[in-house]
Chains A and B, each alone.
Chain A
Amino acid sequence: MTTQPSFLLEKPKPQIKNRLYNGRRIIVWEGKVKVTSIQGWVDNPRIELAKKKLISRVGERQLTQEEIFDLMKNDQEVKLKDLRDDIIKNGLREPLALSFSGKLLDGNRRFFAVKYALENMPVTDPNRQDLESVEAYVLSEDATEEDEQNVLVEENFSASLKIEWPDYVKALKVVGASEDGMSPEDISKKFSWAKSKIKETLKIHEIITEFIIYATNGQDQNDEYGGGLGLSEQEAETIAAKSYQYFNEAQKSYFDALKTDFDFKIQFFKWISQGKFSSFPEVRVAYSAWKHPEARAVLLQPDPSAAKSAKAILDYNTRIVRSTDEATGRIETFVQFLRELTATEIKLIPEASRNNLEAALEMVIKMSKAASE
């Protein structure tokens, strides 16, 4: 017979249940707990970046419950106010999950939203007592660390109506498991993600790690690239977290190029930090644009719509190969452009570009003659 957790209220009488978490049956106690006897999860990865920012201000120490509560309230992505309002209207829809020792395993956001609701609720409010004690599942004393992990995974990695952990935070968990020596197969089982997704996550993180190294380097005029961006670790991580899906797009579209073309990699990092891209297709074509002189020149402009314009050039070039009419039209426009050039304007064109044009025209003459024969 398993022991009843001490913090569970006697009324209603706690019940033993068998619940399924991440494919594993776990024995839990179902009952009510006083909110004041619950400790919020200080190590919650969801607010990792906000915590790092605070620690950089207050120094390295364990944050208090109140500090975590403030962070949760002020982090826009946590949307605590929305949840608080929903709980005031509808009550707590889903029980919290706690370990036998009282550690909050799931429902951290709900727990703080309840605290938030109570904070502003008059003592005389008849709904107050409904929130002062909440329903919870408590793991039995026999639960292992693996069981706790399964609860965490089920509640935070599985897609549901709840706000999942940010992608970057989830990726850190996967990377942590990999660095602990777990194989992609084992990580896949642990987090219920496909093996291919685990491998992709590790590759995305590889790019992000390099981005952070670059971005946190000081500026240096003697360096070929002008040094790094001189950002703090937190600033770089915040950009990385916000651009996570752009890094994912880069991983899918040109991971090898990022590993073999160093100049492109540094430029891509600069683009990410400058907020150059406004859509996934723009990220997707960045390497093709880099290899295309015209699109590259456009993409390197500080214009906010540069990525869009570069993509348009690439799209146009892709189409023109397929359409003879467009090729004819483009040649005519270019010929007209050449004819309108004055000697002074030609003189202003850099020598390398003039040589390039001469070589191209000579090649066209030869090919055209051969085609006419």
Chain B
Amino acid sequence: MTKYLNPEFVSRSFKRLSSRKRTGKTHLERTSALMYFLAIDATCKHFNVNSLDLNPNSLEGKNNRKQVELEFTKLVLVEKSQDSLKQVIELGKIDIGGTNPEKRISSNFFTVPLKKASGQKEPYYYPRRPSAPLLKMGPTATDKKWGIKYHEDWSSNFPVLLSEIKDPTPTLDLAIFVCRDCGFDDKAIEIFSDISEQIRKRFTKEMADYWISKIDKEKIMARHIEEPFVSQYASFASLNKGDLTSLTRYEQMKKSELIDRILSLEKILDENKIEY
């Protein structure tokens, strides 16, 4: 019989990924960069390669893009039903509605930094803010117009993207969040080795080795591990009502995202025959 992560445990770990700052966009930007990077890495693992060609006009490029979109969706989509979508835009918080994840990565990552990199002579490093790049793109850096590779310093830059997180076990909590929907072997009892196994299945060897070594270090600070497994799967998103994004988030949304959000809310009101 398969075991699953206890939704309460996932919820606890997820909340620990919140930023120490209550305002500003830094954590949101860092979450995006981190999720794009993990999606790229998972795609590299899927195709057993160490770089990707994301050319929108070639079959290989299109396939790669599809896979990156799929991996990104697996990372950020926390619940989807016929009329509602719950996703993570900023670690530690759940957003209801908004642009669907495939479209998000396409319009925010493929058509902005990747496109810009394809047309520039100098290597394009991502992310630019903070100045701690994980990826490099563009013809000079990758020998392919739409190429994308790991930045040489990705492993020393990775913790910088987690440095706004207040709690002391960010890589462990991130791993728990990422593995939230995984099925574990019936014999699973020791969370650290079981999570490590899932990380190895999903990410490249370099990434998994690095991530697991960080989790091993953080063990000493992990005090929140209680009853990590349950026998029946349940989404953790429904437990996180208190963390749904506040109205201030709308001020930071793009106009197109805001329109999507209003339309989806209007649809719910219409369906429930609520006047507004």
Contacts of A224 in B (CB 8 A): 216-217
Q: Are A223 and B160 in contact (CB-based, < 8 A)?
A: no
Q: Are A183 and B22 in contact (CB-based, < 8 A)?
A: yes
Q: How far is the CA of A225 from the CA of B223 in the complex (A)?
A: 17
A196 within 8 A of partner (CB):
no
Q: Are B163 and A259 in contact (CB-based, < 8 A)?
A: yes
Q: Are B20 and A202 in contact (CB-based, < 8 A)?
A: yes
Q: How far is the CA of A217 from the CA of B223 in the complex (A)?
A: 10
Q: Are B220 and A228 in contact (CB-based, < 8 A)?
A: yes
Q: How far is the CA of A358 from the CA of B61 in the complex (A)?
A: 46
B249 within 8 A of partner (CB):
no
Q: For residues 14 through 33 of chain B, which have their beta carbon under 8 Å from a beta carbon of chain A?
A: 20, 22
Q: Shortest beta-carbon distance, A255 to chain B, in Å?
A: 9
Q: How far is the CA of A266 from the CA of B219 in the complex (A)?
A: 12
B74 within 8 A of partner (CB):
no
Contacts of A213 in B (CB 8 A): 168, 221, 223
Complex interface bits, A40-77 against B, C-beta within 8 A gives 1, otherwise 0: 00000000000000000000000000000000000000
Contacts of B220 in A (CB 8 A): 214, 217, 223, 225, 227-228, 266
- Chain A's interface: helix, strand, loop or mixed, by majority? helix
- Chain B's interface: helix, strand, loop or mixed, by majority? helix
Q: Are A223 and B168 in contact (CB-based, < 8 A)?
A: no
Which residue in B20, B22, B160, B218 is a CB contact (below 8 Å) of A262?
Answer: B218
A210 within 8 A of partner (CB):
yes
Q: For residues 215 through 238 of chain A, which have their beta carbon under 8 Å from a beta carbon of chain B?
A: 217, 223-225, 227-228
Chain A residue nearest to B168 (CB atoms) is A210
B116 within 8 A of partner (CB):
no
Q: How far is the CA of A118 from the CA of B263 in the complex (A)?
A: 75
Interface centre among A203, A213, A225, A259 (most CB of B within 10 A): A259
B166 within 8 A of partner (CB):
yes
Q: For residues 142 through 179 of chain B, which have their beta carbon under 8 Å from a beta carbon of chain A?
A: 159-160, 162-163, 166, 168
Task: Tally B residues with Cβ within 8 Å of A.
Answer: 16
Q: Are A260 and B168 in contact (CB-based, < 8 A)?
A: no
With A183-B22, A224-B216 as given contacts, are A260 and B221 in contact (CB-CB < 8 Å)?
no
Q: Shortest beta-carbon distance, A202 to chain B, in Å?
A: 7
Contacts of A214 in B (CB 8 A): 220-221
Q: Are A256 and B20 in contact (CB-based, < 8 A)?
A: no
A263 within 8 A of partner (CB):
yes
Contacts of A260 in B (CB 8 A): 159-160, 162-163
Q: Shortest beta-carbon distance, B168 to chain A, in Å?
A: 5
Contacts of A227 in B (CB 8 A): 220
Q: Shortest beta-carbon distance, B136 to chain A, in Å?
A: 21
A206 within 8 A of partner (CB):
yes
Chain A residue nearest to B166 (CB atoms) is A206
B214 within 8 A of partner (CB):
yes
Q: Are B160 and A263 in contact (CB-based, < 8 A)?
A: no
Contacts of B223 in A (CB 8 A): 213
Q: Shortest beta-carbon distance, B250 to chain A, in Å?
A: 19
Complex interface bits, B198-217 against A, C-beta within 8 A gives 1, otherwise 0: 00000000000000001011
Chain B residue nearest to A262 (CB atoms) is B217
Q: Are B221 and A223 in contact (CB-based, < 8 A)?
A: no
Contacts of B22 in A (CB 8 A): 183
Q: How far is the CA of A227 from the CA of B222 in the complex (A)?
A: 12
Complex interface bits, B110-143 against A, C-beta within 8 A gives 1, otherwise 0: 0000000000000000000000000000000000
Q: Are A256 and B163 in contact (CB-based, < 8 A)?
A: yes
Question: Can you name 29 A-B residue pairings with CB atoms under 8 Å?
Answer: A183-B22, A203-B20, A206-B20, A206-B166, A210-B168, A210-B221, A213-B168, A213-B221, A213-B223, A214-B220, A217-B220, A223-B219, A223-B220, A224-B216, A225-B217, A225-B220, A227-B220, A228-B220, A256-B160, A256-B163, A259-B162, A259-B163, A260-B160, A260-B162, A261-B159, A262-B214, A262-B217, A262-B218, A266-B220
B interface, CB within 8 angstroms of A:
20, 22, 159-160, 162-163, 166, 168, 214, 216-221, 223
Nearest 8 CB-CB pairings of A with B: A260-B159, A259-B163, A210-B168, A262-B217, A260-B163, A213-B221, A217-B220, A206-B166
